[in-house]
Amino acid sequence: MTPEEKLISLGIQLPEAPSAVANYVPWVQTGNVVMTSGQIPWVNGEMAYTGKCGGDVSVEEGYEAAKVCAINAIAQLKAAVGNLSRISQILRIEGNVHSAPGFTGQPQVLNGASDLIFDVFGDKGRHTRTALGIFEMPLNAAVQISIFAEVDSE
Amino acid sequence: MTPEEKLISLGIQLPEAPSAVANYVPWVQTGNVVMTSGQIPWVNGEMAYTGKCGGDVSVEEGYEAAKVCAINAIAQLKAAVGNLSRISQILRIEGNVHSAPGFTGQPQVLNGASDLIFDVFGDKGRHTRTALGIFEMPLNAAVQISIFAEVDSE
Amino acid sequence: MTPEEKLISLGIQLPEAPSAVANYVPWVQTGNVVMTSGQIPWVNGEMAYTGKCGGDVSVEEGYEAAKVCAINAIAQLKAAVGNLSRISQILRIEGNVHSAPGFTGQPQVLNGASDLIFDVFGDKGRHTRTALGIFEMPLNAAVQISIFAEVDSE
């Protein structure tokens, strides 16, 4: 299955790649590497998950928020490369979790992004990851991730 | 106009590229990519903007702090490549805003860096960005940014 | 001396490269660049340094925690490239220090990683660095770093 077919099999319809919320662009390519801007959990133009994980946002909700961020990041990658089969490797998820005091479950939250990336890209989805508990977030978003991906040269 | 001419037209004199404050270097190049260390708002050897945005630092002051960080990052890029016309693309601003509790205006603060980069580099300044609200900062700096840039091969 | 010999002369035995704690991998290579996942201070499968620097963790303990993170990162690089002499440049340490309120000594803590990298890699260890004071951390780790390194093409 192609990544696009895999997304359909998971019941996921890629959104329009979200626009940048300020004076920057949502992705760039240099050489064989595409990098996205920070992706937050936009759904249909609304910020779907706000607040602090481990506080007003549960780990389960945080997991869903991270999944939505990953869907938006995949939409950016598709905007960048046209055909997701051109992605030869997901290199990195920079994972940032808006965290309540004392919360240490950032890895569990970010698995919402990592699990989806593995489901969609298979072995090509084997990525590195960072996981930080962030104090405050733009628009009070619950999660923010960036993705770096390698593109096949053609 | 070259980036250097554009800086002059904006009334900006590039400082000496600030030294690293500890045991590291301010920039490296690998292949066609230059990356800077985290830049904080040094002006003439003084930390010009300290404190938390949304608290003792207003959004407008934070915007100026981010602009100073970007000026310092451009000075690093110039130290790296000699001639800023060799920069073919600003790839990324990693934006970190020292934030007071509840502050969500990180994008507005970081536009101080992004707006300058667009002014100086034009279309080649179209960069990706991350925006995080950071709890504590070295030297109590109000903002810290890093820049990744692509350099023309010659 | 090779980096491996230098490690021995410093009395450091590289551990098994720590596994990822969730659904991701500890390093990837793209082109000539290897990047690690976030490394935290694991020692023999135990989290050796927990808590907030400037609070329950002193600057000296934080320095040791950062050094342990760097040892683990070097173990990842060795897993990636086989022979550390193949590393032509350490490009970057992304430094994240779990910080108590008001703590501004992130650079002093992160020197525990930077000093070791210089000791082991010499001039090839001249890296860029970021330094952030992070609110909460996975597993309450005191420090988290990632390393980017350039590998000789062969």
Residues A112/A58, Cβ–Cβ less than 8 Å: no
Please check the confidence at residue C21 and state whether its pLDDT lies above 80.
Answer: no
Please check the confidence at residue B22 and state whether its pLDDT lies above 80.
Answer: no
DSSP letter string, B35-62: EEPPB--EETTEE--BS-BTTTB-HHHH
Nearest CA in chain B to C133: B136
Please report which confidence band the pLDDT of residue C154 belongs to, taking 50, 70 and 90 as the band edges: low
ipTM above 0.85, yes or no: yes
**How many residue contacts between B and C have a Cβ separation below 8 Å?**
85
Residues A3/A120, Cβ–Cβ less than 8 Å: yes
**Chain B contact for A107, CB < 8 A?**
no
Among the listed residues C129, C154, C6, the one whose alpha carbon sits nearest the alpha carbon of residue C74: C6
Chains that touch C (3 or more CB pairs under 8 A): A, B
Please report which confidence band the pLDDT of residue A19 belongs to, taking 50, 70 and 90 as the band edges: confident
Mean pLDDT to the nearest integer, A35-55: 97
CA distances from C38 to A25, A94, A131, B61, C27 (A): 26, 9, 7, 32, 9
Residue C32: per-residue pLDDT: 96
CA distance linking residue A53 with residue C108, whole number of Å: 30
d(CA B34, nearest CA chain C) in Å: 10
Please check the confidence at residue C93 and state whether its pLDDT lies above 80.
Answer: yes
**Chain A contact for C75, CB < 8 A?**
no
Residue B154: per-residue pLDDT: 63
Q: pLDDT averaged over chain C?
A: 96
Residue A139: per-residue pLDDT: 96
Residues B20/C129, Cβ–Cβ less than 8 Å: yes
Strand pairing partners for A50? A141
Q: Which residues contact A46 (CB under 8 A, 6 or more apart)?
A: none
Nearest CA in chain C to B39: C130
Percent of chain C with pLDDT over 90: 94
Longest CA pairwise span in chain C (Å): 48
Domains and CATH numbers, chain A: 3-14+26-144 (3.30.1330.40)
pLDDT digits (tens, 9 = 90+) for B27-59: 999 999 999 999 999 999 999 999 999 999 999
d(CA B21, nearest CA chain C) in Å: 8
Please report which confidence band the pLDDT of residue C20 belongs to, taking 50, 70 and 90 as the band edges: confident
**Chain B contact for C91, CB < 8 A?**
yes
Please report which confidence band the pLDDT of residue B19 belongs to, taking 50, 70 and 90 as the band edges: confident
Please check the confidence at residue A114 and state whether its pLDDT lies above 90.
Answer: yes
CA distance linking residue B139 with residue B38, whole number of Å: 13
User: Considering only B16-20, C78-82, C108-112, which range has the smallest mean pLDDT?
Assistant: B16-20
pLDDT digits (tens, 9 = 90+) for C53-64: 999 999 999 999
Contact C21 A107 (CB under 8 A): yes
A146 CB neighbours in chain B (<8 A) are 128, 130
Length of chain B in residues, anyone? 154
SS (H, E, C) C59-94: HHHHHHHHHHHHHHHHHHHHHHHCCHHHEEEEEEEE
Structure tokens at B56: 């003792």
Contact B89 A35 (CB under 8 A): no
Among the listed residues C128, C40, B96, the one whose alpha carbon sits nearest the alpha carbon of residue A96: B96
Structure tokens at A56: 């007003």
Which amino acid would we find at residue B65? Answer: A
Please check the confidence at residue A154 and state whether its pLDDT lies above 80.
Answer: no
Residue C47: per-residue pLDDT: 97
Q: How many CB atoms lie within 10 A of CB C37?
A: 27
Please, is C1 exposed, middle or buried when counting C-beta atoms within 10 Å of its C-beta (0-12, 13-18, 19+)? exposed
Contact A104 C21 (CB under 8 A): no
Residue C31: per-residue pLDDT: 95
Instruction: Kindly give the interhelix angle for C59-81 and C106-121, rounded to the nearest 10 degrees.
Output: 40
Q: How many CB atoms lie within 10 A of CB B45?
A: 9
Instruction: Kindly give the interhelix angle for A106-121 and A59-81, rounded to the nearest 10 degrees.
Output: 40
**How many residue contacts between A and C have a Cβ separation below 8 Å?**
85
Angle at B48 between CA B46 and CA B49, to 5 degrees: 140
| Chain C residues 14-33 with CB within 8 Å of chain A | 20-28, 30-31
Residues B36/B92, Cβ–Cβ less than 8 Å: no
Facing A30 at nearest CB: one of B32, B102, B133: B32
Mean pLDDT to the nearest integer, C108-137: 97
pLDDT digits (tens, 9 = 90+) for B54-110: 999 999 999 999 999 999 999 999 999 999 999 999 999 999 999 999 999 999 999
CA distance linking residue B31 with residue B21, whole number of Å: 26
Contact B28 C89 (CB under 8 A): yes
CA distance linking residue A2 with residue A105, whole number of Å: 32
